[in-house]
């Protein structure tokens, strides 16, 4: 039984990139869909779609590669874990890899990138970082 579905999603994406796959799937949840929309906005993934009905819903994630065939994601890490949550105030949000990566935050206004959270003046749970 997987106790951390977000870590499972990030691991599926990481493993698919390492295996040079074009796409991967993951069980559906609203939070995962919001995380994927942030990844898509910053072009770490190509597209995603929701397939199926009810309990059989799943996310189909199309991965992005550059012109040389290198993955757009070199690292994707879970920061706040169920066993150790990490919360950050808006003024303490730092850029990831000097702005080359993004931090994904769960705020009171939903899941957003570090840049969006900083500009909105919102802190929250530091879910993951990607570069």
Q: Which residues contact 114 (CB under 8 A, 6 or more apart)?
A: 93, 94, 95, 96, 102, 103, 104, 105
3-state secondary structure of 96: strand
- Show the domain range for 10: 5-130
Structurally, the chain folds into a number of domains equal to 1
Residue 62 belongs to domain with CATH number:
3.30.1490.10
Query: Would you give the distance in Å from CA 128 to the centre of its chain?
Result: 6
Angle (CA) 115 24 52, round 5°:
100
- Note the pTM of the prediction, 2 decimals: 0.94
pLDDT tens, residue order, the chain (131 aa): 568 999 999 999 999 999 999 999 999 999 999 999 999 999 999 999 999 999 999 999 999 999 999 999 999 999 999 999 999 999 999 999 999 999 999 999 999 999 999 999 999 999 999 99
């Amino acid at each position: 039984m997987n106790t951390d579905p977000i870590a499972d999603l990030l691991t599926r994406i990481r493993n698919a990139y390492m295996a040079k796959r074009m796409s991967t799937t993951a069980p559906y949840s609203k939070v995962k869909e919001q995380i994927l929309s942030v990844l898509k906005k910053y072009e770490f993934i190509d597209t995603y779609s929701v397939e199926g009905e009810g309990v059989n819903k799943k996310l189909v994630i199309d991965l992005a590669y550059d012109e040389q065939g290198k993955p757009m994601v070199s690292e994707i890490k879970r920061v706040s874990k169920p066993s150790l949550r990490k919360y950050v105030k808006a003024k303490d949000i730092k850029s990831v890899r000097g702005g080359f990566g993004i931090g994904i935050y769960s705020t009171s206004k939903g899941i957003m990138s570090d840049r969006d959270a900083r500009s909105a003046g919102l802190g929250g749970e530091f879910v993951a970082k990607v570069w």
